[in-house]
A and B are shown apart, each in its own frame.
Chain A
Amino acid sequence: MALLEILVYPDKRLRERAKPVEVFDDELKQLVKDMAETMYDAPGIGLAAIQVDVPKRVIVMDLSEERNDLKVFINPEIEAIEGKQEYEEGCLSVPGVFATVERIERVRIKALNVEGEPFEIEADGLLSVCIQHEVDHLDGKVFVDYLSRLKQDRVRKKMLKEIKESQAA
């Protein structure tokens, strides 16, 4: 068990496109465990492997208040069903920044579990927002990309300043 380091925006490694998982072995299970632990500690409700510098298509999520409902999505694919929704998102790779992003309201998710078995679910509300946010990560996208140029610049400067300060300290 280990806490993994979360990459902080605008780290270039967050821009990488993650590769599908092909081998379902103990190493993958360990990665999922460590990612879950890292997410709970943050605290977050979702984490993509790319955020801990592992460019694989692996996502962990837990939306429950009790933090006892871990969901794992490997090689996920999202299909839009209907609608639009707005939600104020925050990201473990962009600490302290929250901004409203428009997403699809209802989606269908096809993915594999940690054993490599396929499953399919439909999602709306926060679950839908979160899975879209995490799948974006796998494609090298961060929620900040949806904001205006001006806001993106402001976020970038703010994060760089904080990284500098924490290194100085």
Chain B
Amino acid sequence: MAKPNLQLVAAHTLRDVIDQGRSLDRTLESEAQRLGAEQRPSLHEIAYGGLRFYSYFDGLLAQLIAKPIRRKDRMVHFLLIVGLYQLKHMRTPDHAAVNQTVKALAASKQSWAKGLVNGVLRQFLREMEKDNLASLDAHLTAAQRIAFPTFFYGCIRDAWLEESEKIFESSNQKPPLTLRVNQQKTTRADYLKLLAAKNIDALPTEESKLGVLVTQPRPVTELPMFSEGWVSVQDESAQLCAPLLALEHGMRVLDGCAAPGGKTCAMLEAEPSLKMTAVDLPERVLGIEQNLNRLGLEAEIRDMGLEEYSDWWDKHPWDRILMDVPCSGSGVIRRHPDIRHRRQPGDLERFAGQQFDLLETAWGLLADNGLLLYVTCSLFPQENDGVIERFLSNHSDAKFLPVASAGGISTRYGRQRLPGVHAGDGFYYSLLSKAGAA
């Protein structure tokens, strides 16, 4: 049987995301089928890392290649990106990385490029040896140097000029593994002891009272009592949502964009007596159910968009609503290295319109004196304060409350956490209360 070619599959993955705008998760799911289980961790590493640093390597390649690669030979370009990533970031021995890439060319019927690929990769090795790429780096744009496409680079600088360097830097790092301790089953202090007993290094998170930061990320199956539901994987910034909602015994709560159910479960762990309804699109609700089952929690799940509420709503308004709305994902770039490549001009306006509509829908379902927490994992004011400002000017019964306990930076209508500046992912929170009937 022929050896499945890791480099070739990795290059295909990069091409599908960069040239065809597909999502990394979906692409990886199908591409991984082409490899043996033993090769899949390497594919994952090259695909994530290759996308994280794509713009940087793309800038280097432009200098290392005399004549641009033709459009129809894009696979050669992506194989080179894979080779450069392996040489710079992985422990692949130099000769092996070069040889494997050259072999991948043969497998993709591009043997004509053997000389080119060999030459480029060897030149790259010489440049690394000479001055650790400094003379090549000197010719890159500022965006390329930090491995961002020009458009996204500009968006972040427009929004957070002063903080942008830190944001860029943290966006290029591998995300940490953060856990939320299930307060119904154990305490953070006890779970930290349990980890220490298993020789797993971990620290308590600063802002979240329930968070544990595992220093060396590892599969969850290696964590003690994970399948028993003692802990869940959840970023620190996401953990800060549930405490903001002032949940009380027996309240009716709606999680309007619930998948994969992390925050749904966090609310129920804080107050198991809640009557919880979790809503999300059919293709996404499966994760909610799995999470609820593992943690032994209960919620009513509705597998449709919130805007279709009239199909099932019993006209009982909710006391609390969480709206963690779909957004640009600019606060979670380190977890999703495809985001920076997939966002186009016009996306922010489109997201903001959708966010406003969802917020309006949810508002109609909220009880008088009820609270609604609006959340995004976006760094852009258009999706955050911008949406809230427009909403407040359209709804005289809405008023924003101070977001007391989420750390981060205070904005006009809420709070913003920034990756690299504050611990955890980039998040925005705004808390709205509905005036009672006069």
A residues whose Cβ falls under 8 Å from a Cβ of B: 42-47, 63-65, 86-92, 95-96, 98, 100, 125-126, 129-130, 133-134
Q: Does B109 contact A (CB under 8 A)?
A: yes
Residues in A with CB closer than 8 Å to B109 are: 96
Residues in B with CB closer than 8 Å to A88 are: 4, 33-34
B2 close to A42 (CB less than 8 A): yes
Residues in A with CB closer than 8 Å to B1 are: 44-47, 89-92, 129-130, 133-134
Residues in B with CB closer than 8 Å to A87 are: 33
With both beta carbons as reference points, the residue of chain A lying nearest to B31 in the complex is identified as A88
A65 close to B38 (CB less than 8 A): yes
With both beta carbons as reference points, the residue of chain A lying nearest to B2 in the complex is identified as A90
A98 close to B33 (CB less than 8 A): no
A43 close to B103 (CB less than 8 A): yes
Give min CB distance, A32 to chain B, whole Å: 17
A44 close to B2 (CB less than 8 A): yes
A63 close to B2 (CB less than 8 A): no
Give min CB distance, B385 to chain A, whole Å: 48
A126 close to B3 (CB less than 8 A): no
Residues in B with CB closer than 8 Å to A126 are: 36-38
With both beta carbons as reference points, the residue of chain B lying nearest to A132 in the complex is identified as B1
With both beta carbons as reference points, the residue of chain B lying nearest to A67 in the complex is identified as B3
Residues in A with CB closer than 8 Å to B36 are: 45, 63, 125-126, 129
Question: Could you tell me the distance between the alpha carbons of A65 and B38 in the complex, rounded to whole angstroms?
Answer: 8
A125 close to B2 (CB less than 8 A): no
A91 close to B2 (CB less than 8 A): yes
Give min CB distance, B113 to chain A, whole Å: 16
Give min CB distance, B10 to chain A, whole Å: 14
B37 close to A125 (CB less than 8 A): yes
A43 close to B38 (CB less than 8 A): no
Rank and list the top 10 A-B pairs by shortest CB-CB distance, nearest first. Answer: A126-B36, A90-B2, A46-B1, A88-B34, A125-B37, A133-B1, A45-B3, A43-B3, A130-B1, A44-B2
Question: Could you tell me the distance between the alpha carbons of A42 and B37 in the complex, rounded to whole angstroms?
Answer: 21
Residue among B2, B33, B37 making CB contact with A95, cutoff 8 Å: B2
B38 close to A92 (CB less than 8 A): no
Give min CB distance, A83 to chain B, whole Å: 14
Residues in B with CB closer than 8 Å to A47 are: 1
Since A44-B2, A126-B36, A129-B36 are in contact, a sample of 8 more A-B pairs with Cβ atoms closer than 8 Å, ordered by chain A residue number, is A42-B2, A63-B36, A63-B38, A65-B39, A89-B2, A90-B2, A125-B36, A129-B1
Give min CB distance, B359 to chain A, whole Å: 43
Residues in A with CB closer than 8 Å to B2 are: 42-45, 89-92, 95, 98
Question: Could you tell me the distance between the alpha carbons of A109 and B269 in the complex, rounded to whole angstroms?
Answer: 48
Give min CB distance, B40 to chain A, whole Å: 10
B362-401 Cβ-contact flags toward A at 8 Å (1 or 0) = 0000000000000000000000000000000000000000
Question: Could you tell me the distance between the alpha carbons of A45 and B38 in the complex, rounded to whole angstroms?
Answer: 13
With both beta carbons as reference points, the residue of chain A lying nearest to B6 in the complex is identified as A65
Residues in A with CB closer than 8 Å to B159 are: none
A86 close to B103 (CB less than 8 A): no
A-B contact pairs, 8 of them (CB 8 A): A42-B2, A44-B1, A45-B4, A63-B38, A86-B33, A87-B33, A125-B36, A126-B38
Interface residue ranges of B18-43 to A (CB < 8 Å): 33-34, 36-39
Interface centre among B3, B103, B109 (most CB of A within 10 A): B3
